[in-house]
Amino acid sequence: MSKYLLNKFLFTVDRDADLLERYRADPAEFVNYWEKTYANRILNCLESERSTWQKLDDKEREALVNRDYVALFGLGAHPFLTLTLFIGMFERDYPEPLSFQLEYAARLKHFNLPYPDIET
């Protein structure tokens, strides 16, 4: 399991409006594309100097394809990254300010302290 790679997905998509819209439009196709294109890219290195070993496991891939922020929280993905990306994708579909954020909190209600460890 790699919390780092989950976070890398959230980080690279949250900061890029084009990637965010592609993830919103077709998550299965996009996660597949991202894993091939971005998973091994070292962000401050040349394309030819990619890593060779980064790979999502089945649970992580499923959580991303299902855009399941509850599962991502359980897997120890960084909660700030998950929150900002999902606000960016879905807040627009909710009529009232904060209604997406409050639904998000309610769906996580079954988590008690200590929360899943986010250390990478």
Partner 1 sequence: MAKLVAVIASTHHPFYYRASTTIGKDRPAFADEWVRKVEAFRETLTKARPDLLVMVGSDHFHQLWLDNMPQFLVGKAPFYDANFENEHREFGLPRMFMKGQEDLSAYVLRQGLDAGFDLAFSNEMRIDHSITCPIITLRPQNDLPIVPIYTNIFAPPLPRPYRFVQLGRLIRQLIESWPADKRVAVIGTGHLSLELGGPRQFGPHGPDPEFDQKAIKWIATGDIERCLDEVTLDSLHAPGNATHGFMDFMLMMGVAGEGQKANYVDTYDLFHTMEAYFTWYPTGIVK
DSSP-assigned states of every residue in 53-91: -----HHHHHHHHTT-HHHHHHTT--HHHHHHHHHHHHG
Which range in 24-32, 36-44, 59-67 contacts partner 1 by CB under 8 A? 36-44
From residue 50 to residue 89, the character string flagging contacts with partner 1 as x (rule: CB under 8 A) and all else as - is -------------------x---x----xxxxxxx--xx-
Q: What is the rounded CA–CA span in Å between residue 104 and residue 84?
A: 12
Can you read off the two tokens belonging to residue 30? 């996009």
Contact pick of 9, 34, 38, 104 for partner 1 (by CB under 8 A): 104
Q: If DSSP codes are grouped into helix, strand and coil, which group holds residue 6?
A: helix
Contact pick of 31, 36, 44, 48 for partner 1 (by CB under 8 A): 44
Which DSSP category does 117 fall into? Answer: P
Q: Which region holds residue 76: left if phi is over 0, alpha if psi is between -120 and 50, else beta?
A: left
Instruction: Give 28 or 51: the residue with its C-beta nearer to partner 1.
Output: 51
Instruction: Give 28 or 103: the residue with its C-beta nearer to partner 1.
Output: 103
Interface with partner 1 by CB under 8 A: which residues?
Answer: 4, 7-8, 11, 14-15, 17, 42-44, 69, 73, 78-84, 87-88, 98, 101-102, 104-106, 108-111, 113-115, 118-120
